[in-house]
Chains A and B, each alone.
Chain A
Amino acid sequence: MSILLSKDTTFIVQGITGREAVNLTRECLDYGSKIVGGVTPGRKGREVHGVPVFDTVVQAVEHHGGPIDGAVVTVPPAFTKDAVFEAILGGIKLIVVVTERIPRGDVAQMVELADMNGARIIGPNCLGLIVPGVCKMGGIGGPAKDAAKAYAPGPVGVMSRSGGMTTEISSSLTQAGLGVSTAVSIGGDAIIGSTYAELMPLFEADEQTKAIVIYTEPGGRMEAQLSEWVAANDSRLPIVAFMAGKFMDDEEMKGMSFGHAGTIVEGVEDTATEKIARLEAAGIRVVERIDEIPTVVKEKLGVLA
């Protein structure tokens, strides 16, 4: 089992003829993902690694002969909102938005339209998601052989605001003999389609998942929302959190953003110190060192003597 993806998941790549999209198409196909089409306006009739390219999402759906499950959107920021709207209204239910530097207003519009149509957005500013050995949707983990090295199947669900750290953490879980059920790069922006708390019910319902690891950063209220979710729901899943960017709490770093757009601290509650306190108050174990994660997960799972 897994969340969001299965071996039968079909998806398209919007902006498929772009350099980055061509690479991720190759990587996903090599990993065994079912990419059934690509969309780049004006490029109908071409192929990218054997995947047919269309002008519109509707054409891709018609060619497929039935509903398509997902879309990876990798188009420039000014065109992303339109591409996501097209996907949602084309009946697609899982949309991974890779693009970064999209204004919040646009992201909020995408999310609102998705909610109205029963669709889910992952990202923006993310690398997508992966179910080890089953399906990879987006650039997460890189080329298939690299992804295979970092991601082995296992009991840990991973959610991370950093795409690169999703792989770093998953790799450490794999090396420790634990492995990953599903890893989601949720995106580094201030407003994202799916937050930790919004994905928790999916992991909760997934039999394979026995524990959760989250990677978090300063900025935003996503961790507060997770703490509230944990307090309100009697979750069976132990959560281990790692908070990066503690140096941003220093006085001289005020008003600066590091790493991702979403790390901008707009209030006291957004600081690393405050977030760690909240997570811990909700019973979430926050580790100081990144390399403690596998050990603490093992403790939580009772695998250690």
Chain B
Amino acid sequence: MRFFEYEARKIVELAGIPVTKYGFCTTPEEARAAAEEIGGPVVIKSQVLTGGRMKAGGVKFADTPDEAAEHAAAILELEINGHMPRGVLVDPKAEVKQEYYAGVVWDGTAKRPLMLFSDMGGIDIEEVARTHPDHVGRGHVSNLFPIPDFEAKQTIAATGVTGSQLNRATPVLARLARLFRENDMTLAEINPLAELTDGSFVALDAHMEMEEEAVGRQKKLLRVELGIAEDDTREPYEHSAFEEHVAAIDAADHRGVIQGKDHGFTGNLGLVIGAGGGSLTLTDAVRSQGGKPANYSEIGGNPSVAKACGLAKEVLEKDGVEKIAVMMSIVSNTRVDIVARGVIKACLELGKDPGETIAIFRIPGAWEDEGFRILERYGVEYCDRSVSMWEAAGRAVAKIQGTPEGAAA
């Protein structure tokens, strides 16, 4: 789950890391009031869940409250990369002596959180790591034991930072690592972490992402502290009608799991496929052989006939879908005969001939003999494990394109 900057600032603040006095505003009037309260020059920043704000004109400086209101009015109307802002952040224009970077990410290889620190802040850390590797300090922390300050100190000292700067930055990085762990973040970043002219350190911008699997147990932070509504899930794109229908069919019956996605898919071959890895393999196999998938889907567990039928119907009713391919890797839990009944039922209920509509049925495994008997009765082309997933996908593509088998490969 991604957070807006104003929320990330709040998370940082809750962890005891100093921030500047900022205001989150949704109207020009609020922005004017916030600028008045701050006093002096301010910066107005668009609150969107996308990068490139600066370039797009989503960050502006103002010397007076009137100017702040004027900029806020413009930024609130400004769409950035297809996103309308949630509001603006009004922040004092800080007197910065130096910018640093402090971040924590997962290191999947070490299986531990990794602290990152650089004395070259304000720019992309991956860029710094490439061009000035000696300016990036790294340090792993335990998942089980308390995170001691000295580990943060070592990480910072590795970049050559010493003196009062080292002592001021140490608790910031240590607290960032602790909040990363305690709040189930996958990314916690302060960039820039600014040293002001008075020597104090403040987080000028923060970026946080929380693991989806942990959202359920982070209710206190999300709902109480940040006031984020339950339905504010912040998916990277809006769900299509197809995706919503499939999700509803899945939710209506606890047996088995079906998923459907069609964001970015516009083809004519509907895919009723599974399971996780099988779906990835089959989608590639269709595309590599010149096929155009209309969607992505996953069948898992042991779905009911109604569920398999529901998925097949949704796929068949998508615009431009001419045929469906029903394919999975070898199944042990999912029953072949149940999926066969489901997809045939879907065709019949839509007044379509299963033998014409189902380009190929390739699901080997549990109850396959029974499944194949049913398919035979309706004239559906099927195959067992002796036909590979690649070949099955190729047959489906050949059929929909009207080309002789194999010619598309």
Contact = CB atoms under 8 A, between A and B. Distances in A.
Contacts of A175: 385-386
Interface string B13-57: 000000000000000000000000000000000000000000000
A142 B277 contact: no
A291 B330 contact: no
A79 to B, nearest CB: 12
B155 interface: no
A157 interface: no
A77 B332 contact: no
Contacts of B184: 103-105
A259 B297 CA distance: 9
A288 interface: yes
Contact of B108 (A222, A246, A255): A222
Interface stretch (A34-42, A90-98, A109-117): A109-117
A247 B108 contact: no
Interface stretch (B224-232, B278-286, B397-405): B278-286
B264 A165 contact: no
A209 interface: no
Contact of A164 (B217, B276, B283): B276
A301 interface: no
B366 interface: yes
Interface string B128-163: 000000000000001110000000000000000000
B339 to A, nearest CB: 14
A289 interface: yes
B277 A247 contact: no
A256 B261 contact: yes
B365 interface: yes
Contacts of B109: 195, 221-222, 224-225
A175 B385 CA distance: 9
B330 A168 contact: yes
A164 B330 contact: yes
B293 to A, nearest CB: 8
Given A164-B331, A171-B330, A261-B213, A253 B264 contact: yes
Contacts of B275: 162-164
A289 B144 contact: no
A234 B186 CA distance: 35
Nearest to B301: A20
Given A143-B332, A164-B329, A188 B276 contact: yes
Contacts of A248: 280
A248 B236 CA distance: 15
Interface residues of A, number: 65
A291 to B, nearest CB: 3
A143 B366 CA distance: 9
A217 to B, nearest CB: 6
B288 interface: yes
A62 interface: no
A244 interface: yes
A172 B388 contact: yes
Do most interface residues of chain B lie in helix, strand or loop, or is the interface mixed? mixed
Contacts of A258: 261, 279-280, 283, 296
A167 B276 CA distance: 13
Nearest to A168: B329
Contacts of A217: 277, 280
A103 B211 contact: yes
B189 interface: no
B108 A190 contact: yes
B364 to A, nearest CB: 8
A141 B276 contact: no
Contacts of B388: 172, 289-291
A249 B390 CA distance: 20
B250 interface: no
A7 interface: no
B369 to A, nearest CB: 12
A173 to B, nearest CB: 12
A215 interface: yes
B181 interface: yes
Interface centre among A104, A111, A142 (most CB of B within 10 A): A104
A277 interface: no
Given A221-B108, A291-B391, A259 B279 contact: yes
Given A103-B213, A250-B264, A244 B277 contact: yes
A63 interface: no
B197 interface: no
A275 interface: no
A146 B108 contact: no
A142 B332 contact: yes
Nearest to B279: A259
A171 B388 CA distance: 10
B112 interface: yes
A162 B211 contact: no
Given A112-B143, A245-B280, A290 B390 contact: yes
Given A112-B142, A112-B144, A247-B287, A191 B277 contact: no
A288 B276 CA distance: 19
B333 A139 contact: yes
A191 B110 CA distance: 9
B111 A112 contact: yes
B298 A259 contact: yes
A162 to B, nearest CB: 2
A162 B333 CA distance: 14
Interface in B317-335: 328-333
Interface in A138-188: 139, 141-143, 146-147, 150, 160-165, 167-168, 171-172, 175, 188
Interface of B: 106, 108-109, 111-113, 126, 142-144, 181, 184, 186, 211-214, 217, 236, 261, 263-264, 274-281, 283-285, 287-288, 296, 298, 328-333, 364-366, 385-386, 388-391
15 contacts: A104-B186, A105-B211, A111-B111, A111-B143, A141-B332, A164-B278, A164-B330, A168-B389, A190-B108, A225-B109, A246-B284, A254-B236, A261-B212, A266-B186, A291-B388
Given A162-B277, A164-B277, A168-B329, 20 more contacts: A101-B213, A105-B211, A109-B143, A112-B143, A164-B275, A172-B385, A188-B276, A191-B108, A246-B287, A247-B280, A247-B283, A247-B287, A256-B236, A256-B261, A258-B280, A260-B276, A289-B388, A290-B388, A291-B388, A291-B390
Q: Which 3 A-B pairs have the closest CB atoms?
A: A142-B332, A162-B277, A252-B264
